[in-house]
Every structure is written in C-alpha cells, then in structure tokens.
Amino acid sequence: MIRNVLVAAVLAALSLTATACNTVDGLGDDIKSVGKAGKRAID
C-alpha cells in the first residue's frame, strides 16, 4: 500500500518536472533528483 502511494507520488513529481524542463539535459537532471528524493523517502 505504502509502496503504491510512493510510486504514484514519484510518477506525479516526474510528470510535473518533465513539463518544467526545456532540454534533454534538464530532463535527465530532473529524473535524477526525483530518484534521489524517492531513495531518501524509502530510507
């Protein structure tokens, strides 16, 4: 249950940041930051 909520939150954050970036490099940075935030939430 908690994992499903976490996955949904990460996907929502990813979709919001993906619309905010203007370049492929910016998208890569956004994905990396979402991954780090997800890891911090799990730990």
Confirm whether pTM is higher than 0.85. Answer: no
What residue spans of 1-43 are helical by DSSP H? 2-20, 24-42
pLDDT, residue 18, reads 62
Cα–Cα distance measured from residue 33 to residue 42, given in angstroms and rounded to the nearest whole number: 14
- The pair of three-digit structure tokens given for residue 3, joined into one six-digit string: 């994992």
Domain ranges of the chain: 2-42
Q: Tell me the HSE value of 10 on the side-chain side, using a 13 A CA sphere.
A: 18
pLDDT, residue 22, reads 60
| Successive 10-residue mean pLDDT values, the chain, 43 residues | 83 73 69 83 77
- The pair of three-digit structure tokens given for residue 29, joined into one six-digit string: 């940075």
